[in-house]
Amino acid sequence: MKLNELAKELSISPESIKFFIQDFDLDLADCISTNFEVKKDFEKFARENADFLRDYEKDLDKNKTLDQIAKTINQPKEDIKKVITKNDPNIFDNGMFRSSVSSYGIDQRLGGNYQFVYDYFGYKTSLQKRDFIGYRDLFFYISSVLEPFLNEKLIKDWGIQKPAGIILYGPPGSGKIFWANKIAEIINYHFKEVKKHYLGTYYVDGNKTDFNGFLIKMMDDDKVLLFMDDFDEIMTETKAEKNIASCNLEAQEIILHNISKFEQENILMIGSAKSIAQIDKEILAPGRFDVLVPVFPPNASERSEIILYMMTKGLEEDSLLYKILKHNKADKIPFWNDIASKMKTFSNTMLIDFTQSLKKRIRNLYQKNKNGKLIITQNILDSALRDAASKLTKEYLEQIARFLADVIINNPDDFQMRIHALKTELETYRAVEKPARAIGFQHNGDDKE
């Protein structure tokens, strides 16, 4: 059963169910699949607790004061205010909180008893069987963007058109290609990467062709997602002081000429960019690449999950590494929380580098003493961390800063918690400059407090 079908049957909006899953920190893998098939446990929960979900939706839709929230959940106003300002900083001038603030979600964070929710999900889907780890907010944001592909009534009844172009933007190694593939999977389009040499003249089976010929061929096919990497470089704004490759300028013109046909021809083009700032404004105009999706580096909790996933990926329970991990309780997420907290602003690629380095170090240690009960010490973890941190360069941190500036301009209300968390992590790397000593002679007492 699809999420929309279940929501309609229970007279609850799909949007409120998505909010509920995030508010109560439920794993997507235990609730819905990437094509929005509802999992059996969640369907059972929703049917048996439809009244609670309707109450949740009614509360979610209301603007409410601190007093009203406190009355609903019977919690101290001071504690409620702390939770709201930390997680949902937007407050109206008249003292009412936005409708997207859930009283029940606040109560859950303050230790309210919602065990009846979690009792339905006693069996947790293993990390290895999940479609992806974390990023529920990004998944639901992308799903709302893709809704015209999934629900034809939006076009028929409301005239809401499919996007022709989407830009996934974020720092290197954050997973933009992964999400482009995931989008193709969600809307059931064939994924096709636009290789760099397609932008010029090239040969296919001895026949000369070019980017225009490639694009025409793709439009003859059915349901194709075209993925273009380095989109910000190819689609950069034309300026007198800039040297732009002729093939890039030609690609811009060809795409702008044909993009109005993309929806009719079932073409979706996705560009991967490190930054939005330098992309030509003509490209970003309405009806073109006007859907901007930020792809963040993983947050602290996601880093722990990704590390565990990569450490155990492909391992059998009787494998040497798995036995060592189990002996150290490193087959569970809590083991990794401390080291993950030190990986501030790390990309997914850096996390993979960490796990590869750590595996090699554990193997080398095992080869020396053949001890299957060896201890994964802090020293081993820190050494692997130093290896992975080699990519944490000044240039990378500048890219993180540019990314944050882009998100604050283009998606300020959609990812507030991620923006705040990433900004806080970035601040830890900023050097504290010592005040310059005044030039010239110092009068007596000038240096004293």
The string of pLDDT tens digits covering residues 20-44 is 998 888 888 889 888 889 999 999 9
Same domain, 375 and 270: no
Same domain, 199 and 57: no
User: Contact, 66 vs 23, CB < 8 A?
Assistant: no
- Whether residue 353 is found in the same domain as residue 420: yes
Total number of domains in the chain: 3
Tell me which residues of the chain have a pLDDT lower than 50: 91-94, 125-127, 240-241, 432-434, 438-439, 445-449
Q: Are residues 312 and 435 in the same domain?
A: yes
Are residues 389 and 285 part of one domain? no
- Both 190 and 236 in one domain: the answer is yes
Tokens 């800039």, located at residue = 242
Contact assessment for residue 133 and residue 302, using Cβ atoms and an 8 Å cutoff: yes
Residue 224 in any domain: the answer is yes
Query: Crossing angle of helices 300-312/334-341, nearest 10°?
Result: 120
Q: Which domain holds residue 164?
A: 136-294
Residues 384, 357 contacting (CB under 8 angstroms)? yes
Q: Are residues 281 and 319 in the same domain?
A: no
Give yes or no for a contact between 234 and 244, defined as CB atoms under 8 angstroms apart: no
Q: What pLDDT, on a 0 to 100 scale, did the predictor assign at position 311?
A: 95
Handedness of CA 39, 44, 45, 50 (dihedral sign): positive
> Is the same domain home to 164 and 232?
yes
Tell me if 38 sits within 8 A of 1, measured CB to CB. Answer: yes
- Residue 37 forms part of a structural domain: yes
Q: What is the mean pLDDT of the chain?
A: 86
What is the reported pTM?
A: 0.80
- Asked whether residue 173 is assigned to any structural domain, the reply reads yes
Structure token pair of residue 318:
């009787």
Question: Do 337 and 275 share a structural domain?
Answer: no
Which of 71, 99, 125 is the last residue in one of the domains? 125
One domain, residues 154 and 206: yes
Q: Is residue 31 part of a domain?
A: yes
Query: Do residues 119 and 156 both lie within one domain?
Result: no
